[in-house]
């Protein structure tokens, strides 16, 4: 087992152990937010035929060469084509066909004139202009041609993808399974939110933050409850998670007398790949695999509420994204200008909870407050984690630093943008 790794080394070891989960078939209506596990190749042409972009009249341009506002040309309305119709007739010289949006263009016609531009007069229509070639005509196959690779594996399915899949005749699609994540908390001091907090007990908030972090990334949390601080209790809870894709525990993974997580994992046959990452918060992170090559990935997260959240964010979340089939595993990163000086000892990479603000076309960052690993409030006040590199000791006011944006709401706008 390796110890005291740099953050990037720890992440690389984790991602090396992580492969996308097998595909499953889902209804396209339920595929929103899932990741495609197949290549989607078109087997049909969209649109299937040349069709009208407007309600109006299909015409032959040769009839209208001399048309002008002063001298409109009168054409006989020979037939009518509705959307969904199939024109049998060929448009002859001196004829127009009444046509509606989406209806197929009849043979012989080479443009459509909008109905707003003409004067209908009984069985004939007077046209005061000559349209451009194929004006108001949508070409067969202008969106999709048969054989075209439309969606690549690894594509995140959104509304347009759902519509495209449906248009291609696909109501069922292969996506990667969602990871099932067994979550367990440990500690004699912990109770559930409705429990009695007399005598210095505290609520197991990690059970809530970690479950929510799982859901946010599209994984399914399975809560294994709170284990008391005994090896037996911990072992029993860990066994409850053996069939999950990932097991995430929090607390009991440091060097205290009652920190049994590593010992219990070893006893269960877990090969720990590493323990201890040179980061703050979250140094005592442990990672391994339980139950052989196809077994669950195990993350022993530290217990402090911010340490648990940050190590989940930095190490568990990318692994869950990879299991889910995503190609981009990480949060958006922005360059932010510091509104204040930050200082630390060199040696560990710090993830600083920061408040972000758009100001004069830039993003400005300042500390979200108490940087204690036990203080959860700055996690919800802040929108991001500023990456304070391991060997740096100071970031000056006005300097620019890299920030991972955790809150997608940071990019929400109060103005419409038009
Ligand atoms: P430990 O790693 O067991 O020493 O725990 C470190 C700190 O995290 C202690 O102050 C614990 O009380 C706290 N802690 C552990 N588990 C949880 C949890 N599930 N929810 C909130 N705080 C926790
Ligand atoms: Mg403890």
Question: Ligand 1 in contact with 251 (CB < 6 A)?
Answer: yes
Q: Which of 318, 303, 324 is nearest to 260 (CA)?
A: 303
Q: What's the pLDDT score for residue 291? A: 84
Has residue 293 got a pLDDT over 90? Answer: no
Whose Cα sits closest to atom 2 in ligand 1?
251
pLDDT mean over 188-206? 97
Out of 251, 255, 257, give the residue to mutate to test ligand 1, the one with the largest number of ligand atoms within 8 Å of its CB.
Answer: 251
Strand partners, 286: 275, 300
CA 173 from centroid of its chain's CA atoms = 17
* Beta-strand runs (E) in 135-227: 137-138, 149-151, 172-176, 180-186, 190-191, 202-203, 220-227
The pLDDT of residue 294: 84
Q: CA 371: distance to chain centroid?
A: 29
393-398, long-range: CB < 8 A, 24+ apart:
393/343, 393/344, 393/345, 393/346, 394/341, 394/342, 394/343, 395/338, 395/341, 395/342, 395/343, 396/338, 396/341, 397/338, 397/339, 397/340, 397/341, 398/337, 398/338
List, as ranges, residues with CB under 5 A of the ion ligand 2. 187, 251-252
Beta bridge partners of 355: 366
Closest ligand to C-alpha of residue 302 is: 1
Asked whether 205 lines ligand 1 (CB < 6 A), one says yes
Report the chain's mean pLDDT, rounded to a whole number: 97
| Total length of the chain | 418
Q: Decide if 187 contacts 251 (C-beta within 8 A).
A: yes
Q: Place 292 in a pLDDT band, splitting at 50, 70 and 90.
A: confident
Instruction: Determine the pLDDT at residue 271.
Output: 86
| pLDDT at res. 288 | 97
What integer is the mean pLDDT of 230-243?
96
pLDDT of residue 78: 98
Pocket test for ligand 1, best of 303, 306, 312, 379 (most atoms within 8 A of CB): 303
Residue pair 12/130 in contact (Cβ under 8 Å)? The answer is no
Number of the ligand closest to the Cα of 189: 1
Query: Would you say the CB of residue 190 lies under 6 angstroms from ligand 1?
Result: yes
Instruction: Give the model confidence (pLDDT) of 87-117 as tens digits.
Output: 899 999 999 999 999 999 999 999 999 999 9
CB 158 less than 6 A from any atom of ligand 1: no
pLDDT in tens, 27-84: 999 999 999 999 999 999 999 999 999 999 999 999 999 999 999 999 999 999 999 9
How much distance in Å is there from the Cα of 206 to the middle of ligand 1?
8
pLDDT of residue 153: 97
């Amino acid at each position: 087992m390796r110890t005291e790794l740099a953050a990037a080394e720890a992440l690389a070891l984790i991602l090396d152990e992580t492969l996308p989960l097998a595909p499953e078939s889902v209804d396209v209506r339920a595929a929103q937010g899932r990741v495609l596990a197949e290549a989607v190749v078109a087997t049909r042409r969209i649109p299937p035929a040349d069709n009208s972009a407007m309600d109006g009249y299909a015409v032959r341009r040769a009839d209208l060469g001399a048309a002008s506002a002063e001298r409109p040309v009168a054409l006989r309305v020979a037939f009518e084509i509705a959307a969904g119709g199939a024109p049998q007739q060929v448009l002859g010289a001196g004829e127009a066909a009444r046509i509606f949006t989406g209806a197929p263009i009849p043979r012989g016609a080479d443009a459509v004139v909008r109905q707003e531009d003409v004067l209908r007069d009984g069985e004939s229509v007077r046209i005061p202009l000559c349209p451009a070639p194929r004006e108001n005509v949508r070409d067969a196959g202008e969106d999709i041609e048969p054989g075209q690779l439309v969606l690549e594996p690894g594509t995140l399915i959104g509304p347009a993808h759902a519509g495209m899949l449906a248009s291609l005749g696909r109501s069922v699609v292969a996506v990667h399974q969602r990871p099932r994540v067994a979550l367990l908390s440990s500690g004699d001091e912990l109770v559930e939110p409705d429990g009695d907090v007399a005598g210095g007990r505290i609520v197991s908030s990690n059970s809530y933050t970690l479950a929510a972090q799982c859901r946010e990334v599209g994984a399914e949390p399975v809560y294994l409850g709170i284990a008391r601080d005994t090896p037996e209790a911990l072992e029993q809870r860990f066994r409850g998670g053996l069939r999950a894709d990932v097991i995430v525990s929090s607390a009991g993974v440091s060097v205290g007398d009652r920190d049994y997580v590593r010992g219990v994992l070893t006893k269960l046959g877990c090969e720990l790949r590493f323990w201890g990452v040179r980061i703050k918060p979250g140094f005592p992170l442990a990672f391994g695999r339980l139950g052989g090559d196809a077994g669950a990935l195990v993350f022993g997260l530290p217990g402090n509420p911010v340490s648990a959240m940050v190590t989940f964010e930095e190490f568990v979340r990318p692994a869950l994204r990879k299991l889910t089939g995503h190609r981009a595993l990480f949060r958006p990163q922005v360059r932010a200008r510091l509104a204040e000086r930050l200082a630390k000892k060199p040696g560990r990479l710090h993830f600083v909870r920061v408040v972000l603000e758009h100001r004069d076309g830039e993003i400005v960052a300042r500390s979200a407050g108490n940087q204690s690993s036990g203080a959860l409030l700055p996690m919800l006040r802040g929108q991001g984690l500023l990456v304070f590199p391991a060997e740096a000791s100071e970031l000056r006011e006005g300097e620019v630093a890299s920030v991972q944006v955790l809150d997608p709401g940071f990019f929400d706008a109060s103005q419409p943008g038009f």
